[in-house]
Amino acid sequence: MSKLKKGYFVKGKFVAEGSELDLELKRELKGTDDKSRTDLKRESTELQKLGEDLLTLRAELLKRLELPDKLLEAIAEYKRITNFEGRRRLLQFVGKRMRQLEPATLDAIRVALVEQHTPSAQETLTLHAAEQWRDRLIADDDALGQWVNICPGTDVQQMRALIRQARKDAKPEKPGLAVRHGRPFRDIFQIVREHLTHPDEIPETSLGANDLPPNPGADA
């Protein structure tokens, strides 16, 4: 016969003596603000994850945070090396340093990460322009020549092949079926977006506001 555990009932629930719940209830009874081991473990896990996210932060956002030099050195070293074990140790070091930061600094890191993952107004405009150029290239035979005048670095042969395949994919296999957009449709968008994102590849005098295609939904 197994030995009965010592404990008591709280609101119909058995609480074993020495258990985490027992210790937490005793802390509440004493009015102490000490954090439970569960709370501490959860905070440690959250800070470790925040440290991992910090390693992905862009340089200009990282510089703005004014983090301790040793933490910045660890981040730089992590990005430099490729050795698995070395990166694992640096990740642990970063997590340990995160627990030493002030709450205000941790909040600043969270804000910077949100900013990094929120598209800027310029990025949004670029995405819209890329979508419009993609649709125009597929729909209009003259659009490719206009695009090449703007972006002479474009691989014309590749683009022409993608456009041809995208047009084939856009034709439903049977009447009434929805239009199917395959990989060429996505590849055209990626190529156009890449050129628009890196205007240094485009002559300064060739790309202006009038070069963007009209909004397909706008009134003529």
| Residue limits of CATH 1.10.60.30 in the chain | 14-116, 121-211
Say if residue 121's pLDDT is above 60.
Answer: yes
Please list the residues that pair with 13 across neighbouring strands.
10
121-211: CATH superfamily: PSPTO4464-like domains (1.10.60.30)
Cα–Cα separations (whole angstroms), residue 21 to 6, 18, 25, 45, 46: 13, 8, 6, 21, 22
Amino acid at 194: E
What is the distance in angstroms between the CA of the first residue and the CA of the last residue of the chain?
A: 87
pLDDT score for 203: 40
Q: Under a CB-based contact definition with an 8 Å cutoff, are residues 116 and 106 in contact?
A: no
pTM for this prediction = 0.45
Q: What is the pLDDT of residue 206?
A: 39
Strands (E) located in 49-165:
none
Could you tell me the fold of the domain covering 14-116?
Answer: Diphtheria Toxin Repressor; domain 2 (1.10.60)
What pLDDT was estimated at residue 142?
A: 93
pLDDT of residue 179: 66
